[in-house]
Amino acid sequence: MLKIIKSIKILCYNYSMENKIKIGLIGLGTVGSGVFKTLQNFENIEIVKIAVRNKNKKRNIEGLDESIITDDAYEVVNNPEIQIVAELVGGIEPAFDLIKTAVQNGKHIVTANKELLAKHGEELFNFAEKHNKVILYEAAIAGGIPLIMPIKTILAGNKINKIKAILNGTTNYILTKMDTQDASYSDVLKEAQELGYAEADPTGDVEGYDAAYKITTLATIAFGKRVKFENVYREGITKIRPEDMKAANEMGYKIKLIASAELNRNGKADVRVHPMLVPISKTLAHIDYVTNAVSLSGHPVGDVTLSGPGAGEFPTASSVVGDILAIASEIGKTDYILPMMRCGHSENAQMIDISLTENKYYISITTQNSMGVIGRIGKACEENNISLASIVQKEVGEGNCAEITVITELCRELDMQNVINIFNNDPAIESVNSLIRVQI
What are the residue numbers of the active site?
A: 214
- CA proximity to 26, closest of 128, 109, 104: 109
The helix/strand/coil state of 16 is helix
Q: What is the largest CA-CA distance in the chain?
A: 104
Q: Where are the beta strands (DSSP E) in 266-339?
A: 269-279, 291-299, 302-309
Alpha helices in 207-302 (DSSP H): 209-223, 242-250
Distance, in Å, from the CA atom of 183 to the CA atom of 185, rounded to the nearest integer, reads 7
* Phi and psi torsions of 342, nearest 5°: -85, 160
The strand pairing partners of 365, in sequence order, are: 404, 432
Reported as type and span, the H/E element at residue 160 is: strand 159-166
Q: Which residues contact 14 (CB under 8 A, 6 or more apart)?
A: none
What count of Cα atoms within 13 Å lies in the side-chain half-sphere of residue 319?
30
The strand pairing partners of 393, in sequence order, are: 404
